[in-house]
C-alpha cells in the first residue's frame, strides 16, 4: 500500500508531466507527426529492403510515396467536402421540415411534451437567414491565419521539420526499436 505522501507525490508528478506536455506541444508536434509517419512507413521500407534495395533508397521511395499521397488527398477531398457541405446547407430546410413533421410528433407523444414548445419554424428561419454567412466565416478564418506572421513562421517550420524528422526516423527506425527493446 502507498501512504498518502507517496500518492500526492505521484499525483504531483503526473500533473507536472501533463502541464509540461501541454506547454511543449507546439515543439513536440512535428516530432510526433514525423514519428507517426515513420511508424506507418517502416513496414513498406522493410518490404522494399527484401527486394535488394538499400535502406536509404527504400526510405526515399516510401518517403516520396507518402509525400505524394499527403499532397493528393487534400486536392481530392476538399472539393468533395465542399460539394457535400453545399448540398447539406441547401437541404437543411427539408431536414427541418422532416423533423417537424416526423420527429417532433413522436417525441411529444412519447415523452408527453407539448409540441408547441419545440418551435421548428423559428429554427428554420434562422438557418435560412444565416446559411450564407458560413462561407464568410471560413474566409475570415483563412484571412486571420494567413495574416498572422508568427503562425506562418510556425507553419513553415513544421512543413520543413516534419519531412526531415520523418526521413531520419524512417531510415533509423529499426536501430531505434532495437535500442528501445
In a domain? residue 18: no
Question: For 156-177, what is each residue's pLDDT tens digit?
Answer: 888 889 999 999 998 998 898 8
CA atoms in the 13 A half-sphere facing the CB of 28: 7
Question: For 59-81, what is each residue's pLDDT tens digit?
Answer: 999 989 988 988 898 889 888 88
In a domain? residue 158: yes
In a domain? residue 64: yes
In a domain? residue 4: no
In a domain? residue 5: no
In a domain? residue 11: no
In a domain? residue 12: no
Cell numbers given for 56: 536509404
Per-residue pLDDT tens listing for the chain (181 residues): 678 888 899 999 999 999 999 999 888 999 999 999 999 999 999 999 999 999 999 999 998 998 898 889 888 988 888 888 888 888 888 887 888 788 878 877 777 776 666 666 666 677 666 666 655 666 666 666 666 777 778 888 888 899 999 999 989 988 988 998 8
Cell numbers given for 27: 515543439
Q: How far apart are CA 128 and CA 147, in angstroms?
A: 31
In a domain? residue 60: yes
Total of domains in the chain: 1
Helix runs in 50-131, H state only:
55-98, 104-111, 120-130
Domain that holds residue 34: 24-180
Amino acid at each position: 500500500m502507498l501512504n498518502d505522501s507517496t500518492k500526492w507525490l505521484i499525483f504531483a508528478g503526473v500533473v507536472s508531466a501533463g502541464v509540461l506536455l501541454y506547454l511543449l506541444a507546439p515543439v513536440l508536434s512535428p516530432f510526433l507527426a514525423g514519428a507517426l509517419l515513420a511508424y506507418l512507413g517502416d513496414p513498406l521500407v522493410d518490404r522494399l529492403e527484401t527486394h535488394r534495395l538499400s535502406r536509404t533508397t527504400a526510405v526515399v521511395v516510401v518517403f516520396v510515396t507518402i509525400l505524394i499521397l499527403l499532397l493528393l488527398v487534400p486536392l481530392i477531398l476538399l472539393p468533395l467536402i465542399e460539394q457535400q457541405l453545399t448540398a447539406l446547407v441547401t437541404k437543411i430546410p427539408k431536414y427541418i421540415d422532416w423533423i417537424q413533421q416526423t420527429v417532433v410528433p413522436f417525441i411529444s407523444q412519447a415523452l408527453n411534451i407539448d409540441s408547441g414548445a419545440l418551435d421548428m419554424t423559428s429554427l428554420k428561419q434562422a438557418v435560412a437567414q444565416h446559411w450564407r454567412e458560413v462561407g464568410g466565416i471560413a474566409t475570415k478564418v483563412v484571412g486571420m491565419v494567413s495574416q498572422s506572421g508568427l503562425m506562418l513562421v510556425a507553419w513553415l517550420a513544421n512543413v520543413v521539420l516534419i519531412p526531415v524528422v520523418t526521413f531520419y526516423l524512417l531510415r533509423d527506425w529499426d536501430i531505434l526499436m532495437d535500442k528501445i527493446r
